[in-house]
């Protein structure tokens, strides 16, 4: 709002009567009054649109949030209104966009958006944590292979146990120790392979994000 604006429209006053954390009510108000909101002056229109966009995210309506996030970001850049009070709405909106992309399964796009935010704000903890989760979702082929091997070994163990209990124990007890030992060995091997793949996935994501943060921080320091 400009400091000289003393009159506010009826639509804006009704919006301001809604508690800031009543996200579903904000969403309902905007969608019921979208035409009226679009006819407001820019300051009132943008404040309501920004609140609606953030409310969509808080309500878990991630696809709808993504529809609104880009126009908000474009407006912020075009109008040069990065700060509202003590909030950097550009960074906040960019983080929420990355989170929405993550929640709808667009991990590669989420990684790109969050990587952009890391370059702007290297020590944004929320961004770093979410970026690690994206990296883990974008697991390399080795992790998929270890999971497949573990599943295969589990099926073999089931087969061996079936043979042991249905045939070996009743008819060929001499083979029971061998079958039991083989099943136990395969069980331990499968668990170790699965744990190794998951450990690799976590360590890889940690190292990649730390490297990105360190590189972004160094570039910002060099630019000063």
From residue 173, alpha-carbon distances to 102, 168, 179 in Å are 54, 5, 10
Q: Sketch the domain layout of the chain as residue ranges.
A: 10-137, 141-223
| Intra-chain end-to-end CA distance of the chain, in Å | 32
CA–CA separation, 106 and 18 (whole Å): 33
- Where are the extended beta strands (E) located within 16-159? 83-84, 87-88
Q: What is the pLDDT of residue 1?
A: 47
Q: Does domain 10-137 have CATH number 3.40.50.2000?
A: no
Q: What is the pLDDT of residue 6?
A: 62
- 10 and 29 in contact (C-beta within 8 Å)? no
Residue-level pLDDT, tens digit, the chain, 224 residues: 444 456 789 999 999 999 999 999 999 999 999 999 999 999 999 999 999 999 999 999 999 999 999 999 999 999 999 888 889 999 999 999 999 999 999 999 999 999 999 999 999 999 999 999 999 998 777 788 998 999 999 999 999 999 999 998 898 899 899 999 999 999 999 999 999 999 999 999 999 999 999 999 998 887 76
Q: What is the pLDDT of residue 161?
A: 94
pTM of the predicted protein model: 0.83
Q: What is the pLDDT of residue 5?
A: 56
Would you call 20 helix, strand, or coil by DSSP?
A: coil
């Amino acid at each position: 709002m400009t400091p000289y604006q003393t009159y506010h429209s009826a639509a804006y006053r009704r919006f301001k009567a809604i508690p800031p954390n009543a996200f579903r009510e904000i969403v309902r108000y905007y969608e019921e009054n979208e035409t009226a909101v679009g006819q407001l002056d820019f300051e009132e229109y943008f404040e309501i649109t920004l609140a609606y966009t953030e409310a969509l995210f808080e309500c878990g309506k991630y696809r709808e949030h993504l529809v609104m996030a880009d126009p908000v970001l474009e407006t912020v850049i075009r109008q040069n209104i990065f700060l509202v009070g003590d909030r950097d709405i550009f960074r906040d909106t960019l983080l929420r966009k990355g989170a929405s992309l993550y929640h709808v399964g667009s991990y590669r796009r989420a990684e790109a958006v969050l990587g952009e935010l890391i370059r702007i704000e290297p020590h944004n903890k929320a961004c770093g944590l979410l970026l690690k989760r994206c990296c883990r979702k974008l697991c390399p082929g080795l992790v998929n292979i270890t999971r497949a091997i573990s599943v295969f070994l589990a099926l073999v163990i089931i087969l061996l146990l079936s043979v042991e209990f249905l045939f070996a124990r009743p008819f060929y007890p001499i083979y029971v120790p061998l079958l039991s030992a083989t099943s136990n060995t395969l069980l331990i091997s499968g668990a170790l392979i699965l744990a190794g793949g998951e450990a690799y996935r976590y360590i890889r994501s940690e190292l990649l994000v730390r490297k990105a943060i360190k590189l972004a921080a160094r570039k910002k320091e060099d630019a000063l």
